[in-house]
Amino acid sequence: MPGILLTPALLSLAALLLAIVLSCTSRVNVGLLAFALAWVAGLLGGGGHELAVRTFPAALFVTLAGVTLLFALAEANGTLEGLATRALRLAQGDARVLPLLVFAIACAISTVGPGAIASVALVAPMAMALGRRAGIPPFLTALSVTNGANAGNLSPVSAVGVVANTKMAEAGLGGHELAVWAANFAAHVLVGAAAYFLLGGLRLAGRAEYATPDEAQGFSPAQWLTLAVTAAWIAGVIGFSVPLGLAAFAAATLLIMLGVADEGQAIRRMPWGAILMVTGMSALVGVLERTGGMALFTSLLARLATPATVNGTIAFVTGLISTYSSTSGVVLPTFLPTVPGLVRELGGGDPVAVALSINVGASLVDVSPLSTLGALCVAAVPEADASKDLFRRLMVWGLSMTLVGAVLCQLLAGPFARL
């Protein structure tokens, strides 16, 4: 038994499980812990001091930093907020239309690059204010914002989409960007539509007056320039396959040189905590792969499912962990690398479908108030009693999504994997 306890594979797996548990129970950034554990596990596993450095995901860091810097500039100079505000005017205050429009706006902003967190941070305060004036329940507004933001969160140019697609490519499952986006989008559209109808969206009859003097003004020259450069970057990535992160750095540098936004303010707005989580966990998973711990972890996962049930089972497991932990920072970097080995251990299954199930199962639960998205919506409700009620409702809904995600992935992951 002592020999088994000291194997490099078991030591590195214990380090990963400790990081996952602490990511669910502690406020400490799990990326910090993951880097330390990667060093210790690599050292004890015979990889030496440099193993954790060699497994650092440099390419992923460049991509995440470039994309988030570009959109931090657009956020800092008011471009994203201006887009969201003008889009909301399209509803004309009609309460029945507002939840649908909020979903679409949050989805659009998330899709083009900033990701769900930035999208919810921009849209939730305005949406909650309009919802109160139009008589829309805060719960319905929150679900519209969060599901909309998550629907676009796995686009090829979104920061979280970058994480998912990069980890799939590293596992030998590259080239499925359309399936990754479409499966996640469809799942959140279905869930968002269910919320709209179940919570009485069609029966809403209020109207909201929300025009402000500033809204009559057009975009400033700096904001128009930001829109043009960002559109050119998206066109280059999608149409000409330019490197995502390096092109984003080039676009951001151009905007900084042209003086459209304060460089220091934009850098401070970048989600450094999330970047640290993703890169730290990726380094730890890299150590696992080098020491045999990933094979051990995969064999443990294989005991939970069969080839026929693996899609639903893995969606449930990742959803449950993601309810309390970070989807992009912990769940995706940890579980996506296990997919090929898991399918081999089971003796069957579609690896792309399993990867899609991880993506969707982990994302659907992010409306939980323990996640950043849900927390931002709760924070946008000023009344104490209403805020507590929204917290409770979002918690119940988020937990229920573990089961909903499992069912959806069991039924639909296979067809989407063939896109």
Count of CA atoms in the C-beta half-sphere (13 A) of 234: 16
Query: What is residue 237's predicted lDDT score, i.e. its pLDDT?
Result: 85
Determine the Cα–Cα distance for residues 357 and 354; give it in Å rounded to an integer.
Answer: 5
Query: What is residue 213's predicted lDDT score, i.e. its pLDDT?
Result: 41
Query: What is residue 419's predicted lDDT score, i.e. its pLDDT?
Result: 84
Query: What is residue 81's predicted lDDT score, i.e. its pLDDT?
Result: 82
Q: Is 43:35 a contact under the CB 8 Å cutoff?
A: no
Tens of pLDDT, residue by residue, the chain (419 residues): 444 456 889 999 999 999 999 888 888 888 999 999 999 998 887 777 889 899 999 989 998 899 889 989 998 998 888 887 777 777 666 788 889 999 999 999 999 877 898 888 888 888 888 888 788 899 999 999 999 999 999 999 998 999 999 999 999 999 999 999 999 999 999 999 999 999 998 888 765 555 444 444 689 999 999 999 999 998 898 788 888 889 999 999 999 999 998 899 999 988 898 889 889 999 999 999 899 998 899 999 999 999 999 999 999 999 999 988 889 889 999 999 999 999 999 999 999 999 999 999 999 999 998 888 998 899 888 888 888 999 999 999 999 999 999 999 999 999 999 98
Q: Is 262:314 a contact under the CB 8 Å cutoff?
A: no
Q: Is 351:339 a contact under the CB 8 Å cutoff?
A: yes
Reduced 3-state DSSP string for the chain: CHHHHCCHHHHHHHHHHHHHHHHHHCCCCHHHHHHHHHHHHHHHCCCCCCHHHHCCCHHHHHHHHHHHHHHHHHHHCCHHHHHHHHHHHHHCCECCCHHHHHHHHHHHHHHCCCCHHHHHHHHHHHHHHHHHHHCCCHHHHHHHHHHHHHHCCCCCCCHHHHHHHHHHHHCCCCCCHHHHHHHHHHHHHHHHHHHHHHCCHHHCCCECCCCCHHHHCCCCHHHHHHHHHHHHHHHHHHHHCCCHHHHHHHHHHHHHHCCCCCHHHHHHHCCHHHHHHHHHHHHHHHHHHHHCHHHHHHHHHHCCCCCCCHHHHHHHHHHHHHHHCCHHHHHHHHHHHHHHHHHHHHCCCCHHHHHHHHHHHHHHHHHCCCCHHHHHHHHCCCCHHHHHHHHHHHHHHHHHHHHHHHHHHHHHHHHHHCC
**Buried residues in 151-187 as b, exposed as e (16+ CB within 10 A):** bbbbbbbbbbbbbbbbbbebbebeebbebbbebbbbb
The answer to pTM > 0.75 is yes
Determine the Cα–Cα distance for residues 269 and 9; give it in Å rounded to an integer.
Answer: 38
Query: What is residue 1's predicted lDDT score, i.e. its pLDDT?
Result: 41
Q: Give 287's contacts (C-beta < 8 A, 6+ positions apart).
A: 12, 15, 38, 41, 42, 45, 47, 51, 52, 55, 293
Query: What is residue 208's predicted lDDT score, i.e. its pLDDT?
Result: 53
Q: Give 306's contacts (C-beta < 8 A, 6+ positions apart).
A: 346
Query: What is residue 154's predicted lDDT score, i.e. its pLDDT?
Result: 96
Query: What is residue 212's predicted lDDT score, i.e. its pLDDT?
Result: 45
Q: Is 130:105 a contact under the CB 8 Å cutoff?
A: no
